[in-house]
């Protein structure tokens, strides 16, 4: 089970040294803005993925008065994960006391979903955030996906280097085209297969949460090239265009998901609160699918749930989170805004955060 039994955070942002024994179900972190609540979620996300969900850089996460930040977790099954980052060295990750070269093993062991204000990028942002969302799900249910994804990334990087030359070597580009197409087919197959299972599940959850326009919402997958012509032909036809831009214009790195209501983009029709319900349903559906596929719960980090959601919608989101049976960390300013939306019999741990410390 992907449940944190003990969490220790040292000198991450304004957090000095925290030791938390969270509940295996719902954990509510409450306190004033700037108290350090979100930094606790950020620490868990950093441990599980090697990245912050608030910034693209890790160094700013280290407390300004310290030289190193440390996050440690012991899981319910006894496995231990440790992360450290000093200002002068690369991050170090340890899993079961062994140093890791990357985050693949830990990411599989501790799958984490974040629900925060940036989640709106799934609807109103660019294709990259939607690809990352899709690939998170595929990564966790198909073991071979990550290797094929890396092959496409390497092929595109090498192809782009050749395209940037003053006189591109099209013979070498052709060789990378072949490698790219072989890997891209597998990436596309995995993404398409995942969506065949995911989309019906998403629409069921969205309807159960009384999602707006659920009966007319359409979600389509765009693979990143013209399927009728095939990627091989598209790359051949567009070589001069790619050379002009110095970058590959078609491929799995251009894939996207489109959300439409009638002829309009869903983001143009749905209110901010309605968008949050849809995004929440998307994240919840991924967690449920992961649980069904791997018999492993997804850990949810929910930052400022009451923001932009009225009580009815908060109850809808929390009911689904509770129903998943996994571990959840929720931040809020007013604790009653969360507790009043939860079943009374549910085991809930509460932590009051003040000036970077747990005070209750």
What is the per-residue pLDDT across 99-150, written as a single tens digit (0 to 9) for each?
Answer: 999 999 999 999 999 999 888 889 999 999 999 999 999 999 998 999 999 9
- 86's enclosing H/E stretch is strand 80-86
- 147's enclosing H/E stretch is helix 145-163
Mean pLDDT over 262-280 rounds to 93
Q: What is the pLDDT of residues 315-343, one digit of tens each?
A: 999 999 999 999 999 999 999 999 999 98
Residue 314 contacts residue 306 (beta carbons within 8 Å): yes
- Residue 306 is predicted with a pLDDT of 83
Interstrand relation of 256-261 and 98-99 (parallel, antiparallel or unpaired): unpaired
What residues are paired with 83 via a beta bridge?
71, 93
What CATH number does the domain located at 122-271 have? Answer: 1.20.1050.90
Residue 48 pLDDT exceeds 80: yes
User: Where along the chain do its domains lie?
Assistant: 122-271
Mean pLDDT over 251-279 rounds to 94
> What mean pLDDT value characterizes the chain?
93
Residue 59 pLDDT exceeds 90: no
Q: Which residue has the tokens 């790359």?
A: 235
CA dihedral for 119, 258, 141, 290, sign (positive or negative): positive
- Residue 72 is predicted with a pLDDT of 97
Q: Which residues contact 322 (CB under 8 A, 6 or more apart)?
A: 25, 26, 328, 342, 343, 346
Return d(Cα 153, Cα 125) in angstroms, integer: 22
């Amino acid at each position: 089970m992907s449940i944190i039994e003990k969490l220790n955070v040292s000198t991450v942002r304004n957090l000095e040294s925290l030791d938390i024994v969270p509940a295996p179900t719902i954990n509510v972190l409450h306190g004033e803005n700037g108290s350090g609540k979100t930094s606790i979620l950020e620490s868990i996300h950093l441990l599980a993925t090697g990245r912050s969900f608030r910034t693209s850089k890790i160094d700013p996460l280290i407390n300004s008065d310290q030289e190193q930040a440390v996050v440690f977790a012991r899981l319910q099954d006894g496995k231990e994960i440790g992360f450290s980052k000093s200002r002068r060295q690369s991050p170090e990750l340890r899993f079961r006391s062994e140093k890791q070269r990357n985050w693949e093993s830990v990411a599989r062991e501790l799958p984490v979903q974040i629900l925060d204000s940036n989640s709106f990028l799934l609807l109103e942002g660019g294709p990259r955030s939607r690809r990352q969302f899709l690939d998170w799900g595929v990564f966790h249910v198909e073991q071979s996906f990550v290797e094929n994804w890396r092959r496409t990334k390497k092929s595109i990087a090498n192809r782009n280097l050749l395209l940037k030359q003053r006189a591109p070597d099209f013979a070498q580009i052709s060789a990378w085209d072949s490698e790219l197409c072989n890997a891209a087919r597998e990436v596309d197959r995995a993404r398409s297969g995942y969506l065949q299972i995911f989309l019906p599940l998403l629409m069921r959850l969205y309807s159960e949460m009384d999602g707006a326009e659920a009966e007319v919402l359409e979600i389509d997958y765009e693979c990143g090239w013209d399927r009728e012509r095939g990627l091989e032909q598209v790359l051949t036809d567009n070589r001069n265009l790619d050379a002009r831009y110095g970058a590959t214009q078609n491929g799995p790195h251009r894939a996207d998901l489109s959300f439409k209501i009638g002829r309009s983009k869903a983001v143009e029709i749905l209110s901010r609160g309605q968008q949050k319900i849809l995004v929440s349903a998307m994240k919840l559906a991924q967690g449920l699918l992961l649980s069904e596929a791997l018999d492993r719960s997804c850990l949810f980090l929910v930052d400022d749930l009451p923001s932009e959601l009225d009580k009815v919608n908060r109850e809808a989101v929390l009911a689904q989170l509770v129903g998943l049976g996994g571990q959840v960390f929720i931040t809020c300013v007013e604790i009653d805004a969360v507790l009043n939306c939860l079943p009374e019999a549910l085991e809930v741990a509460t932590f009051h955060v003040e000036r970077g410390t747990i005070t209750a």
